[in-house]
Chain A
């Protein structure tokens, strides 16, 4: 299909002192499903719009199959784009919406009919071809927007927050449909979202950005398990990773208020010492699911036990989300729902220190 290279891409809007995208470097391989994720204003939509040709590139080069595309018009980039608000032509039927690009390219009628029928079949839109967008539900409109992209048989699909206007349930089913579509079409897809769950579930590789700069590029598992900094660690995963400011003393990590002390594993301790953090301030991060209350795990992790008061206990079915306080520190634990806990109860929790992360308190870069 197509190989895309973003080479030192910068974007600065007129009248704005700061760059919206800074030194963006990315090599997208054939058939890849790339997800740009990050908080609002991180430059992810700007980047996808630069790839589409809807925004000028201030500096750097965008290459597709080795050819510089900076000055090429959107229609000549062989791309298809799905917009957040669907951008369906309100005066056209579903069929005409899907057929529009082909009609403009003077594709013959039989071919148009075949391609639209094929896309409608993939997306289950056969019954709606004569309807106008106003007579469709949000999910159906989004499918039409996808259909419009499919019929073009473009090399590259760009999807700019395509599911954010849908309700939670529909989002989950559309997520699966888009993933299936990628399997079926085997095209490159670049998908923009602010929802890390979408990124985790759909991406071959995730590009996490913040304030116009790439923080980390990697597989969902890499970003989740080996975050390069505290921002990535905090952004990926729900609930967010718990962070504790503290100091290392010998083999123990103690929070600044001295209320929480846990033993660091030898392997992590070695890395911390090698990096010069012995007896230094560091930030420890641990995910909610790596904090346990089960009696057997408490016994197993005896040197990482913590006392805390339960503020809120949210039953989610199989698991319970415990919002607890230790001294001044609030954190969340995702525990087995069989272990029942009530608000104001003082409980003992155990940290799985093999799964703990350590970050530099100043630069927030991952140490171990």
Chain B
């Protein structure tokens, strides 16, 4: 009997089936259809424009034949646009501003968001938590244009609330939009205020995931509220804090255009402290119309951003492989 079985087994050959491309395409068709709109958008607005980066190496001038014709007719200047960017003081100022503001946002966002998340996690009144969350999240959904008017209402040189208070109490009015020394603080404050609600919700969700018996164990071990936060809550938030920080470092060369353009109302006398890569590129394009120069600045931003993203991803992969982007 055994012999018969083994003969039968030997004769039956199990063919390993690899589904063909056509059959896989067919079975995944509904999912692929879902992808199409997003893919088209990505191709037109992200992938095709990559090729237009060549203008960073050209003395670009529009000609009647359209963009492609302009590309053909514009002369090649090699790295001249970059040379100009880096030989001027602008490159240093915009790089310094972009990096320092973003570093400031990373630190402030981390500390303040975690602080508020912990405060909310200690609240027992669920309704109050919702009220706080909503009111903290509200600025996140406001447009920078709207916020720039809020700011204007406070610091308008003539009718602004702060100047009224200053003059009312015998002080001197400040021409805020011409006083660069205040703007690093104003920008850091406004930027943090806008994003704090969103970030603190992330940390709050993580804090709420902490096993409540850990607090009970700590309470029995004699830990007071602060010690419970220090030894239970904060360690539980560390992985998320690390991840958020590393991801933010990956974006450190990408400034929030709305904040730096709208809130200072593109005031020329503030450029030294408000000009960041994004606003510099935009201003360069709108004022001088030099597409080559602006593209060089944009390519510089993208390149450094890409390098930082790769580095931060490598770091994330080392710390927590599951959280890595690729």
Contact = CB atoms under 8 A, between A and B. Distances in A.
The answer to whether A and B belong to the same complex is yes
Interface of A: 52-54, 73-75, 79-81, 83-85, 87-92, 100-101, 104-105, 148, 152
B317 to A, nearest CB: 20
A52 B221 contact: no
B222 A89 contact: no
B222 A87 contact: no
A81 B213 CA distance: 11
A91 B216 contact: no
Interface in B187-245: 211, 213-214, 216-223, 227, 231-232, 235-236, 238
B216 A87 contact: yes
A267 B112 CA distance: 78
Q: Which 8 A-B pairs have the closest CB atoms?
A: A91-B235, A101-B221, A75-B222, A87-B217, A87-B213, A104-B222, A74-B220, A83-B213
> What's the dominant secondary structure at chain A's contact region?
loop
A302 B29 CA distance: 79
Contacts of B236: 90-91
B235 A89 contact: yes
Contacts of A74: 216, 219-220
Contact of A87 (B214, B227, B238): B214
A52 B220 contact: yes
Nearest to A49: B216
Contacts of B231: 89, 91-92, 100
A299 B112 CA distance: 84
Interface in B122-147: none
19 contacts: A52-B216, A52-B220, A54-B220, A73-B219, A75-B220, A75-B222, A80-B220, A81-B216, A83-B213, A87-B213, A87-B214, A88-B217, A89-B235, A90-B236, A100-B231, A101-B221, A104-B227, A105-B222, A148-B221
Given A83-B213, A87-B214, A90-B235, A104 B219 contact: no
Contacts of B235: 89-91
A303 B35 CA distance: 82
A75 B213 CA distance: 15
A101 B222 CA distance: 6
Contact of B220 (A81, A89, A90): A81
Contact of A89 (B214, B216, B219, B238): B214
A75 B219 contact: yes
Contacts of A91: 231, 235-236, 238
Contacts of B222: 75, 101, 104-105
Interface centre among B216, B221, B227, B235 (most CB of A within 10 A): B221
Contacts of A52: 216, 220
Contacts of B221: 75, 100-101, 104, 148, 152
Nearest to A75: B222
Contacts of A89: 214, 217-218, 231-232, 235
A83 B213 CA distance: 8
Contacts of B232: 89
Nearest to B235: A91
A72 B214 CA distance: 20
Contacts of A80: 220
Interface centre among B214, B216, B220, B223 (most CB of A within 10 A): B220
A82 B123 CA distance: 26
A83 B223 contact: no
Contacts of A73: 219
Contact of A54 (B216, B223, B238): B216
A89 B219 CA distance: 13
Given A52-B216, A54-B219, 20 more contacts: A52-B220, A54-B216, A54-B220, A73-B219, A75-B219, A81-B216, A83-B213, A83-B217, A84-B213, A85-B211, A87-B213, A87-B217, A89-B232, A89-B235, A92-B231, A100-B218, A100-B223, A100-B231, A101-B222, A148-B217
